[in-house]
Structure 1
Amino acid sequence: MKKQQLIDFVSKLDTEDTCEILAYLLKSAPDTRLHFLCGKIASGKSTLANKLAQRPRTILISEDEWLSTLFSQQITDLSHYIEKSRLIKNVLEAHIVKLVQAGNTVVMDFPANTPAQRSWLKSLADLANVAYVFHILEVDSNECKRRLAVRNQIGDNPFKTSEAQFDLITQHFSYPSSEEQLICRYEK
Protein backbone atom coordinates (compact mmCIF):
# COMPACT_ATOMS: atom_id res chain seq x y z
CA MET A 1 0.00 0.00 0.00
CA LYS A 2 1.40 3.37 -0.99
CA LYS A 3 1.49 6.39 1.29
CA GLN A 4 -1.45 8.20 -0.39
CA GLN A 5 -3.56 5.03 -0.35
CA LEU A 6 -2.88 4.66 3.36
CA ILE A 7 -3.83 8.30 4.02
CA ASP A 8 -7.07 7.86 2.05
CA PHE A 9 -7.86 4.65 3.94
CA VAL A 10 -7.23 6.18 7.38
CA SER A 11 -9.24 9.33 6.55
CA LYS A 12 -12.34 7.16 5.98
CA LEU A 13 -12.10 5.54 9.41
CA ASP A 14 -13.95 6.82 12.43
CA THR A 15 -12.02 8.07 15.45
CA GLU A 16 -12.36 4.84 17.44
CA ASP A 17 -10.97 2.71 14.60
CA THR A 18 -8.10 5.15 14.06
CA CYS A 19 -7.22 5.02 17.77
CA GLU A 20 -7.22 1.22 17.72
CA ILE A 21 -4.91 1.14 14.70
CA LEU A 22 -2.54 3.67 16.27
CA ALA A 23 -2.52 1.72 19.53
CA TYR A 24 -1.66 -1.44 17.63
CA LEU A 25 1.16 0.27 15.74
CA LEU A 26 2.59 1.72 18.95
CA LYS A 27 2.31 -1.63 20.67
CA SER A 28 4.64 -3.21 18.17
CA ALA A 29 7.09 -0.31 18.00
CA PRO A 30 10.42 -1.47 16.54
CA ASP A 31 12.47 0.36 19.17
CA THR A 32 10.83 -1.47 22.08
CA ARG A 33 13.58 -3.14 24.09
CA LEU A 34 14.40 -4.73 27.39
CA HIS A 35 17.64 -3.37 28.85
CA PHE A 36 19.63 -5.19 31.51
CA LEU A 37 23.02 -4.52 33.04
CA CYS A 38 26.08 -6.39 34.28
CA GLY A 39 28.68 -4.82 36.53
CA LYS A 40 30.10 -5.03 40.01
CA ILE A 41 28.58 -3.09 42.88
CA ALA A 42 29.15 0.67 42.31
CA SER A 43 30.25 0.15 38.70
CA GLY A 44 27.59 2.55 37.43
CA LYS A 45 24.65 0.24 36.65
CA SER A 46 22.02 2.44 38.30
CA THR A 47 23.52 5.59 36.80
CA LEU A 48 23.31 4.07 33.32
CA ALA A 49 19.82 2.68 34.02
CA ASN A 50 18.57 6.13 35.03
CA LYS A 51 20.11 7.66 31.90
CA LEU A 52 18.47 5.04 29.66
CA ALA A 53 15.12 5.60 31.38
CA GLN A 54 15.03 9.24 30.24
CA ARG A 55 13.97 8.14 26.76
CA PRO A 56 10.29 8.34 25.73
CA ARG A 57 8.06 5.34 26.53
CA THR A 58 10.72 3.92 28.84
CA ILE A 59 10.08 2.49 32.29
CA LEU A 60 12.76 1.90 34.91
CA ILE A 61 12.33 -0.99 37.34
CA SER A 62 14.86 -0.96 40.18
CA GLU A 63 15.47 -4.01 42.32
CA ASP A 64 16.97 -1.86 45.09
CA GLU A 65 13.78 0.23 45.28
CA TRP A 66 11.58 -2.86 45.54
CA LEU A 67 13.86 -4.55 48.08
CA SER A 68 14.23 -1.46 50.26
CA THR A 69 10.51 -0.71 50.19
CA LEU A 70 9.34 -4.24 50.96
CA PHE A 71 12.18 -5.90 52.85
CA SER A 72 14.69 -3.31 54.08
CA GLN A 73 14.87 -4.68 57.63
CA GLN A 74 14.80 -8.33 56.52
CA ILE A 75 17.93 -8.37 54.36
CA THR A 76 20.83 -8.97 56.71
CA ASP A 77 23.00 -11.30 54.63
CA LEU A 78 23.47 -12.65 51.12
CA SER A 79 21.02 -15.54 51.58
CA HIS A 80 18.26 -13.11 52.61
CA TYR A 81 18.98 -10.98 49.54
CA ILE A 82 18.75 -14.01 47.24
CA GLU A 83 15.46 -15.11 48.83
CA LYS A 84 13.83 -11.66 48.67
CA SER A 85 15.13 -11.01 45.16
CA ARG A 86 13.53 -14.27 44.01
CA LEU A 87 10.19 -13.20 45.51
CA ILE A 88 10.28 -9.86 43.69
CA LYS A 89 11.20 -11.52 40.41
CA ASN A 90 8.30 -13.96 40.73
CA VAL A 91 5.85 -11.11 41.32
CA LEU A 92 7.18 -8.82 38.59
CA GLU A 93 7.88 -11.27 35.77
CA ALA A 94 4.45 -11.32 34.10
CA HIS A 95 4.02 -7.58 34.68
CA ILE A 96 7.35 -6.77 32.98
CA VAL A 97 6.49 -8.95 30.00
CA LYS A 98 3.13 -7.15 29.63
CA LEU A 99 4.79 -3.73 29.86
CA VAL A 100 7.19 -4.61 27.05
CA GLN A 101 4.48 -6.26 24.94
CA ALA A 102 2.44 -3.05 25.27
CA GLY A 103 5.22 -1.19 23.45
CA ASN A 104 7.20 0.16 26.38
CA THR A 105 10.93 -0.09 26.66
CA VAL A 106 11.84 -1.41 30.11
CA VAL A 107 15.17 -0.83 31.82
CA MET A 108 15.83 -3.50 34.42
CA ASP A 109 18.09 -2.12 37.15
CA PHE A 110 18.61 -5.64 38.45
CA PRO A 111 22.07 -7.20 38.49
CA ALA A 112 22.89 -9.46 35.56
CA ASN A 113 26.00 -10.62 37.39
CA THR A 114 25.60 -14.40 37.39
CA PRO A 115 24.53 -16.84 34.68
CA ALA A 116 21.22 -17.45 36.51
CA GLN A 117 20.45 -13.72 36.77
CA ARG A 118 21.27 -13.20 33.09
CA SER A 119 19.18 -16.19 32.07
CA TRP A 120 16.14 -14.81 33.92
CA LEU A 121 16.53 -11.34 32.41
CA LYS A 122 16.96 -12.70 28.89
CA SER A 123 13.93 -14.95 29.40
CA LEU A 124 11.81 -11.82 29.93
CA ALA A 125 12.76 -10.55 26.48
CA ASP A 126 12.12 -14.01 25.02
CA LEU A 127 8.69 -14.24 26.68
CA ALA A 128 7.77 -10.77 25.42
CA ASN A 129 9.22 -11.55 21.98
CA VAL A 130 11.29 -8.34 21.92
CA ALA A 131 14.93 -7.52 21.48
CA TYR A 132 17.17 -6.91 24.45
CA VAL A 133 20.21 -4.74 25.04
CA PHE A 134 22.67 -6.26 27.51
CA HIS A 135 24.97 -3.56 28.87
CA ILE A 136 28.26 -4.56 30.48
CA LEU A 137 30.19 -2.15 32.67
CA GLU A 138 33.79 -3.21 33.17
CA VAL A 139 35.14 -1.32 36.17
CA ASP A 140 37.94 -2.72 38.32
CA SER A 141 37.26 -3.58 41.95
CA ASN A 142 39.43 -0.80 43.40
CA GLU A 143 37.50 1.87 41.49
CA CYS A 144 34.19 0.25 42.50
CA LYS A 145 35.27 0.32 46.16
CA ARG A 146 36.22 3.99 45.85
CA ARG A 147 32.82 4.78 44.34
CA LEU A 148 31.11 2.63 46.96
CA ALA A 149 32.71 4.63 49.79
CA VAL A 150 31.45 7.87 48.20
CA ARG A 151 27.99 6.37 47.65
CA ASN A 152 27.78 5.20 51.26
CA GLN A 153 28.84 8.64 52.47
CA ILE A 154 26.30 10.47 50.30
CA GLY A 155 23.54 8.00 51.19
CA ASP A 156 21.79 8.07 47.81
CA ASN A 157 21.42 4.28 47.71
CA PRO A 158 18.92 2.58 50.04
CA PHE A 159 21.56 0.02 51.05
CA LYS A 160 24.97 0.68 52.55
CA THR A 161 27.37 -1.98 51.38
CA SER A 162 30.57 -2.52 53.34
CA GLU A 163 33.87 -3.36 51.69
CA ALA A 164 33.63 -6.87 53.20
CA GLN A 165 30.16 -7.31 51.67
CA PHE A 166 31.50 -6.04 48.35
CA ASP A 167 34.25 -8.69 48.46
CA LEU A 168 31.78 -11.44 49.38
CA ILE A 169 29.31 -10.54 46.63
CA THR A 170 32.09 -10.06 44.06
CA GLN A 171 33.13 -13.69 44.64
CA HIS A 172 29.87 -14.66 42.93
CA PHE A 173 30.23 -12.11 40.12
CA SER A 174 31.06 -13.20 36.57
CA TYR A 175 31.04 -11.59 33.18
CA PRO A 176 29.08 -13.57 30.59
CA SER A 177 30.74 -16.45 28.82
CA SER A 178 30.34 -17.28 25.14
CA GLU A 179 28.28 -20.34 26.15
CA GLU A 180 25.52 -18.01 27.35
CA GLN A 181 25.13 -16.76 23.77
CA LEU A 182 24.27 -13.21 24.76
CA ILE A 183 24.68 -10.19 22.55
CA CYS A 184 26.64 -7.73 24.68
CA ARG A 185 27.17 -3.99 24.57
CA TYR A 186 30.24 -2.84 26.47
CA GLU A 187 29.91 0.55 28.17
CA LYS A 188 32.77 2.87 29.04
Structure 2
Amino acid sequence: MPILHLICGLPGSGKTTLARQLENQGKGLRLSPDEWMSTLGFQLYDEGGRARVEQLQWRLAQRLLAAGNDVILENGFWSREERDSYRAVAQSLGCETRLHYLDVPVEELQRRIIARNRDAPADAAVDPNDLLAWSKMFEPPTTDELAVGHGTAPP
Protein backbone atom coordinates (compact mmCIF):
# COMPACT_ATOMS: atom_id res chain seq x y z
CA MET A 1 0.00 0.00 0.00
CA PRO A 2 1.51 3.38 -0.99
CA ILE A 3 2.30 5.78 1.84
CA LEU A 4 1.81 9.53 1.94
CA HIS A 5 4.22 11.08 4.45
CA LEU A 6 3.08 14.48 5.76
CA ILE A 7 5.88 16.43 7.45
CA CYS A 8 4.29 18.77 9.99
CA GLY A 9 6.00 21.63 11.81
CA LEU A 10 6.95 25.29 11.78
CA PRO A 11 9.92 26.76 9.89
CA GLY A 12 13.19 25.63 11.44
CA SER A 13 11.70 22.51 13.01
CA GLY A 14 13.67 20.13 10.78
CA LYS A 15 11.07 19.27 8.14
CA THR A 16 13.53 19.24 5.25
CA THR A 17 16.11 17.28 7.23
CA LEU A 18 13.55 14.61 8.12
CA ALA A 19 12.08 14.55 4.61
CA ARG A 20 15.57 14.05 3.13
CA GLN A 21 16.27 11.24 5.61
CA LEU A 22 13.04 9.50 4.62
CA GLU A 23 13.84 9.94 0.93
CA ASN A 24 17.39 8.61 1.40
CA GLN A 25 15.93 5.58 3.19
CA GLY A 26 13.79 4.87 0.13
CA LYS A 27 10.55 5.93 1.81
CA GLY A 28 9.31 7.98 -1.15
CA LEU A 29 9.79 10.89 -3.49
CA ARG A 30 10.25 14.16 -1.58
CA LEU A 31 8.40 17.26 -2.73
CA SER A 32 9.54 20.52 -1.13
CA PRO A 33 7.56 23.73 -1.77
CA ASP A 34 10.46 25.94 -0.63
CA GLU A 35 12.89 24.32 -3.06
CA TRP A 36 10.49 24.56 -5.99
CA MET A 37 9.68 28.18 -5.15
CA SER A 38 13.37 29.05 -5.09
CA THR A 39 13.97 27.25 -8.39
CA LEU A 40 11.01 29.04 -10.00
CA GLY A 41 12.15 32.45 -8.74
CA PHE A 42 9.35 33.01 -6.20
CA GLN A 43 10.03 34.85 -2.96
CA LEU A 44 9.59 32.66 0.13
CA TYR A 45 6.80 34.95 1.41
CA ASP A 46 4.87 34.92 -1.90
CA GLU A 47 1.66 33.28 -0.63
CA GLY A 48 0.10 33.11 -4.11
CA GLY A 49 3.20 31.46 -5.53
CA ARG A 50 3.34 29.06 -2.58
CA ALA A 51 -0.31 28.08 -3.06
CA ARG A 52 0.28 27.34 -6.76
CA VAL A 53 3.41 25.30 -6.07
CA GLU A 54 1.72 23.30 -3.30
CA GLN A 55 -1.30 22.62 -5.54
CA LEU A 56 0.95 21.45 -8.36
CA GLN A 57 2.93 19.22 -6.00
CA TRP A 58 -0.27 17.78 -4.54
CA ARG A 59 -1.60 16.91 -8.02
CA LEU A 60 1.73 15.24 -8.82
CA ALA A 61 1.72 13.43 -5.47
CA GLN A 62 -1.76 12.05 -6.14
CA ARG A 63 -0.66 10.67 -9.51
CA LEU A 64 2.42 9.09 -7.92
CA LEU A 65 0.37 7.56 -5.08
CA ALA A 66 -2.23 6.22 -7.51
CA ALA A 67 0.64 4.58 -9.43
CA GLY A 68 1.82 2.85 -6.25
CA ASN A 69 4.63 5.19 -5.23
CA ASP A 70 5.29 6.61 -1.76
CA VAL A 71 5.43 10.41 -1.46
CA ILE A 72 6.89 12.78 1.15
CA LEU A 73 5.35 16.26 1.41
CA GLU A 74 7.07 18.82 3.63
CA ASN A 75 4.46 21.59 3.45
CA GLY A 76 4.31 22.10 7.22
CA PHE A 77 0.60 21.20 7.47
CA TRP A 78 -0.28 23.86 10.02
CA SER A 79 -4.00 23.09 10.36
CA ARG A 80 -6.00 20.01 11.24
CA GLU A 81 -8.36 20.78 8.37
CA GLU A 82 -5.51 20.67 5.84
CA ARG A 83 -4.11 17.43 7.30
CA ASP A 84 -7.56 15.82 7.28
CA SER A 85 -8.10 16.85 3.67
CA TYR A 86 -4.83 15.29 2.51
CA ARG A 87 -5.51 12.13 4.53
CA ALA A 88 -9.00 11.79 3.03
CA VAL A 89 -7.70 12.03 -0.53
CA ALA A 90 -4.90 9.57 0.21
CA GLN A 91 -7.42 7.16 1.71
CA SER A 92 -9.63 7.47 -1.38
CA LEU A 93 -6.59 6.46 -3.44
CA GLY A 94 -6.08 3.39 -1.26
CA CYS A 95 -3.03 4.84 0.49
CA GLU A 96 -1.85 4.99 4.06
CA THR A 97 -0.90 8.36 5.57
CA ARG A 98 1.85 8.89 8.11
CA LEU A 99 2.01 12.21 9.90
CA HIS A 100 5.47 13.17 11.16
CA TYR A 101 5.21 15.99 13.69
CA LEU A 102 8.28 18.02 14.65
CA ASP A 103 7.51 19.76 17.94
CA VAL A 104 10.22 22.34 18.65
CA PRO A 105 9.98 25.29 21.12
CA VAL A 106 9.74 28.73 19.49
CA GLU A 107 13.02 29.88 21.08
CA GLU A 108 14.86 26.97 19.44
CA LEU A 109 13.12 27.63 16.12
CA GLN A 110 14.31 31.24 16.25
CA ARG A 111 17.87 30.14 17.03
CA ARG A 112 17.82 27.71 14.10
CA ILE A 113 16.34 30.27 11.69
CA ILE A 114 18.97 32.87 12.62
CA ALA A 115 21.72 30.29 12.01
CA ARG A 116 20.14 29.16 8.72
CA ASN A 117 19.71 32.75 7.51
CA ARG A 118 23.49 33.32 7.73
CA ASP A 119 23.97 31.01 4.74
CA ALA A 120 20.70 31.72 2.92
CA PRO A 121 20.28 34.16 0.04
CA ALA A 122 18.47 37.33 1.13
CA ASP A 123 15.29 36.34 -0.74
CA ALA A 124 15.22 32.96 1.07
CA ALA A 125 15.71 34.30 4.60
CA VAL A 126 12.95 33.81 7.15
CA ASP A 127 12.31 36.57 9.67
CA PRO A 128 12.76 34.89 13.08
CA ASN A 129 10.35 37.43 14.59
CA ASP A 130 7.53 35.91 12.50
CA LEU A 131 7.80 32.62 14.38
CA LEU A 132 5.90 33.84 17.44
CA ALA A 133 2.88 34.89 15.35
CA TRP A 134 3.07 31.70 13.29
CA SER A 135 3.22 29.54 16.42
CA LYS A 136 -0.11 31.06 17.49
CA MET A 137 -1.68 30.16 14.13
CA PHE A 138 -0.25 26.62 14.12
CA GLU A 139 -2.57 23.78 15.20
CA PRO A 140 -0.42 20.99 16.64
CA PRO A 141 -1.61 17.49 15.79
CA THR A 142 -3.81 15.89 18.41
CA THR A 143 -3.12 12.57 20.07
CA ASP A 144 -5.59 10.81 17.76
CA GLU A 145 -3.77 12.17 14.69
CA LEU A 146 -0.50 10.73 16.00
CA ALA A 147 -2.02 7.35 16.91
CA VAL A 148 -0.57 4.18 15.39
CA GLY A 149 -1.29 4.06 11.69
CA HIS A 150 -1.86 7.81 11.54
CA GLY A 151 1.38 9.49 12.46
CA THR A 152 4.55 9.78 14.45
CA ALA A 153 6.28 12.32 16.60
CA PRO A 154 10.00 11.81 15.93
CA PRO A 155 12.25 11.82 19.01
Q: Same fold (TM over 0.5)?
A: yes
Q: Identify which range, 96-105 or 46-55, moves more after superposition.
A: 96-105
What is the correspondence of 1:104-183 to structure 2 with a 5 Å cutoff? 104-155=69-120, 159-177=124-142, 183=150
Question: Identity of counterpart residues, as a percentage?
Answer: 24
Aligned with residue 45 of structure 1, among 15, 33, 40: 15
Aligned position for 1:19? none
Q: Which secondary structure does the structure 2 equivalent of 1:163 belong to?
A: coil
Cα separation, partners in 2 of 1:123 and 1:68, compared to 1, 3 Å: farther
The one-letter code of the counterpart of 2:130 is Q
Q: Aligned partners of 2:82 and 2:7: how far apart in 1?
A: 10
Aligned with residue 54 of structure 1, among 21, 24, 33: 24
Larger helix share, 1 or 2: 1
Cα separation, partners in 2 of 1:86 and 1:178, compared to 1, 3 Å: same
CA contact (8 A) 1:65 1:158 kept: no
- TM-score w.r.t. length of structure 1: 0.70
Cα separation, partners in 2 of 1:126 and 1:45, compared to 1, 3 Å: same
- Report the count of equivalent residues: 153
Mark the runs of 5 or more structure 1 residues left unpaired by the alignment: 1-29
- TM-score w.r.t. length of structure 2: 0.83
Cα-to-partner distance string for 1:120-173 (whole Å, 9 max, x where unaligned): 332341242200110111111111111111111122897211122222322211
Q: Identify which range, 88-97 or 167-176, moves more after superposition.
A: 88-97
CA contact (8 A) 2:146 2:153 kept: no
Q: Which secondary structure does the structure 2 equivalent of 1:132 belong to?
A: strand
Cα-to-partner distance string for 1:86-121 (whole Å, 9 max, x where unaligned): 322333333211101212111101111112331333
Q: Aligned partners of 1:102 and 1:158: how far apart in 2?
A: 36
Cα separation, partners in 2 of 1:165 and 1:105, compared to 1, 3 Å: same
Q: Aligned partners of 2:93 and 2:108: how far apart in 1?
A: 36
Aligned position for 1:85? 50
Q: Aligned partners of 1:158 and 1:54: how far apart in 2?
A: 28
How far does residue 45 in structure 1 lie from its aligned partner after superposition? 0.9
Aligned position for 2:38? 68
Mark the runs of 5 or more structure 2 residues left unpaired by the alignment: none
Moved over 6 A (4+): 179-182
Aligned position for 1:35? 5
Q: Aligned partners of 1:43 and 1:181: how far apart in 2?
A: 17
